[in-house]
Amino acid sequence: MKLPPEPQPEGKETARKAHAAADVERSRRRGGASWIVTVLLLAATAWLGHTLAEVEPVPIRRPLASFPMVLTIPAPAERGNQRWRGFDLPLDQEVLLKLGVDDKIYRIYRGPDNESIFLYVGFFASQQQGEQIHSPKHCYPGAGWVTEQEGKVTLQTSAGPVVVNRLTIGKGLERQLVLYWYDTHGRVITNEYAGKFFLAWDAVTRNRTDGALVRISTPIGKGDDPTNETIIRFAEAVFPILRDFLP
């Protein structure tokens, strides 16, 4: 025969009900807070989209097609300066549509020992939702590349020290060393989240959202030094020249 449950003391039962009521109240408050945050985020997104759509495009100073085809790159002291000659590489129409750029360079530069360095610069006169700079951190994995190392490197340029991103990536037997940064009207940005912040900030305070992605890459072997002084010297030479092109 099943015995009836033992009656609970009145004090314990009251405490249990109080705890249950408190749990319900906390859940209600959390739900209300989540709803408020969601509404605020949606409102902020809508406001930002409207703000970006209202910004006037800023034209590039000089067409990137006129970027020098021959670059003089400092070499180790015993070898003097080196001349690197550029050759334009094609981008098919589908890729250009995905990139959404207003101007671009895509070149391979060859050094005196037949070394190869690729230069890509994609410029946006304005950025709107859905038409913004694509991060290499997202583009490379989408193309099958795996990030092996990432960090920062400091360029010693004629404009002063500049910190840029460095990636080592691999796909099958191929490996590349990549340097990249975002240039927004004289400001060098290496962090994607900081880039989003300044995009919104400049849209509101300066009525402009123009910007560029600068990406420099070179093939490397499995045992090669990922610091690769050649690509660093190349980037140090490119940086001040780009200042005459980007607004």
Tens digits of residue pLDDT in 8-31: 555 555 656 556 555 655 656 555
List phi, psi (to 5°) of 227: -80, -35
Q: Shortest CA distance to 218 belongs to which of 115, 149, 132, 126?
A: 115
Which of helix, strand or coil describes residue 103?
Answer: strand
Residue showing tokens 């940064």 = 181
Q: Which residue has the higher pLDDT, 225 or 49?
A: 225
pLDDT band of 239, cuts 50, 70, 90: very high
Q: Shortest CA distance to 99 belongs to which of 66, 139, 67?
A: 139
Identify the pLDDT of residue 41: 43
Q: Is the pLDDT of residue 108 over 80?
A: yes
Identify the pLDDT of residue 40: 44
Q: Give the DSSP H/E element, type plus range, for residue 195.
A: helix 192-205
Q: Shortest CA distance to 245 belongs to which of 198, 156, 163, 185?
A: 185
Which of the residue ranges 22-36, 80-94, 168-182 would you say has the lowest mean pLDDT? 22-36
Residue 158 CB partners (closer than 8 Å, separation 6+): 240
> Rounded CA gap, 234 and 213, in Å?
16
List phi, psi (to 5°) of 101: -80, 155
Q: Which residue has the higher pLDDT, 41 or 186?
A: 186
Identify the pLDDT of residue 15: 56
pLDDT band of 42, cuts 50, 70, 90: very low
| Ranges 5-19, 34-48, 50-64, 80-94, most confident | 80-94
Residues forming a β-bridge with 188: 183
Residue 62 CB partners (closer than 8 Å, separation 6+): 244, 245
Identify the pLDDT of residue 123: 95
Q: Is the pLDDT of residue 46 over 50?
A: no
Residue showing tokens 């072997």 = 221
Written as one letter, the residue type at 26 is R
Identify the pLDDT of residue 14: 63
List phi, psi (to 5°) of 84: -110, 130
CA 69 to chain centre: 26
What is the bridge-based pairing of β-strands 160-171 and 70-73? unpaired
Return the structure tokens found at 158. Answer: 């004629």
**Beta carbons of 84 and 107 less than 8 angstroms apart:** no
Q: Is the pLDDT of residue 93 over 50?
A: yes
**Beta carbons of 75 and 82 less than 8 angstroms apart:** yes
Q: Which residue has the higher pLDDT, 122 or 130?
A: 122
Residue 73, Cβ density class (10 Å: 0-12 exposed, 13-18 middle, ≥19 buried): buried
Q: Is the pLDDT of residue 209 over 50?
A: yes
Identify the pLDDT of residue 107: 98
Percent of residues, the chain, with pLDDT higher than 70: 73
Identify the pLDDT of residue 232: 94
